[in-house]
Amino acid sequence: MKRVLLSVVLGLGVAAPAFADLALATSKNCMSCHAVERKVLGPSFKDVAAKYKDDKGAVDTLASKIMKGGSGVWGPVPMPANNQVSEADAKKLAAWVLSTK
Ligand code: HEC
């Protein structure tokens, strides 16, 4: 069943990786506080991508914040830890966020 779904996703062509990572972010609850294009409770992922575009260590920094939470960078509201996210998924999500600019 999973394989069928995967080939459907791959069938979409170039848009597939971004689509798959949006699905991952949605399944990990990220999109209840974030959107790609606009600020919700947390910053838009485009703004995050723009802020860290010259930071080579950003994938690791952001992956760690995604897992452990963070505060004081974007405003008064902190991001709670996302314990449901594995390190591998956190890196995937960080790389995707940085690719949204
Ligand atoms: C309960 C709401 C909430 C959830 C759920 C949430 N975030 Fe956040 N996120 C925030 C807030 C608020 C900030 C801003 C924190 C700050 O100012 O440092 C933030 C900041 C971030 C940042 C920027 C960190 C920085 O230091 O610049 C990234 C990247 C991010 N979130 C990704 C994610 C991902 C990926 C998920 C899903 C696993 C997620 N967030 C889930 C609220 C949330």
Structure confidence at residue 74 (pLDDT): 98
pLDDT in tens, 53-77: 999 999 999 999 999 999 999 999 9
pLDDT in tens, 40-53: 999 999 999 999 99
66 lines ligand 1 (CB under 6 A): yes
How far is the first Cα of the chain from the last one, in angstroms, to the nearest whole number?
A: 33
Contacts of 54 (CB under 8 A, 6+ apart): none
What number is the average pLDDT over the span 5-18? 54
- Which residue's CA is the nearest one to ligand 1's atom 37? 30
- Spacing, Cα 62 to ligand 1 middle (Å): 9
- Spacing, Cα 84 to ligand 1 middle (Å): 14
| 97 alpha carbon, distance to own chain's centre | 4
> HSE on the CB side for 43, CA within 13 Å?
22
Residue 7 tokens read as 């080939």
Mean per-residue pLDDT of the chain: 89
Checking if the pLDDT of 93 tops 80, the result is yes
| Residue 45 to residue 64: CA distance in whole angstroms | 16
33 lines ligand 1 (CB under 6 A): yes
28 lines ligand 1 (CB under 6 A): yes
